[in-house]
Amino acid sequence: AQSVAQPEDQVNVAEGNPLTVKCTYSVSGNPYLFWYVQYPNRGLQFLLKYITGDNLVKGSYGFEAEFNKSQTSFHLKKPSALVSDSALYFCAVRDGGGSNYKLTFGKGTLLTVNP
Amino acid sequence: DTGVSQDPRHKITKRGQNVTFRCDPISEHNRLYWYRQTLGQGPEFLTYFQNEAQLEKSRLLSDRFSAERPKGSFSTLEIQRTEQGDSAMYLCASSLASGGNSPLHFGNGTRLTVT
């Protein structure tokens, strides 16, 4: 079975400050990890993914994420937050060693960036 | 790339009625997924197709739900005898079949309200 935990329902940061949204995962094989963002009444937009290689991956809108195998984590980061980054963020995982291709999502973290 | 298209955007129905939703994936994508999202939760997997074959269906999905992708292009999701608990956002996504590392691209969803 594969699962994702996002331990924080909400994260609040001031504009210009760095932000971190936390994610931990569980899979039996190699993890394929993804971050998505959702704006109100919209579908999810892909931000970035980790499949293999460099533990620090860069994605859209200045976001990056750090894969840590020993801690089974994949935290989303941005050096300087913008008010427009305020949205719902989802971490997702699939087992790279399996033959099923579904993604399992966390419950989401609501990021609010205050001006 | 015109994106994933879902129709309708909103559907209000009375309990006991049948509803059908349509999803048009990105044209070159051969995997198509249905997810359900309720308030405060992450997307929950329902089913997915590779071309016209339905490869997996969630065990959480009751027999009232059925999905088809008859020609490997668009897909429909039908809910029979709707219940108030079916009220949710129904999300469709598509991806390339490339070993599972291709991200899912989501539509804007169909919001179902059962009264």
Q: What helix, strand, coil percent values describe chain A, rounded to 5?
A: 5, 50, 45
- Cβ-defined contact of B42 to A90 (cutoff 8 Å): yes
Q: How many contacts, defined by CB atoms under 8 Å, are there between A and B?
A: 64
The answer, yes or no, to whether residue B1 has pLDDT greater than 80, is: no
Encode pLDDT of A46-77 as tens digits. 999 999 889 999 999 999 999 999 999 999 99
pLDDT digits (tens, 9 = 90+) for B16-42: 999 999 999 999 899 999 999 998 899
- Structural contact between residues B90 and B110, judged by C-beta atoms closer than 8 angstroms: yes
Q: Do A45 and B106 touch (CB under 8 A)?
A: yes
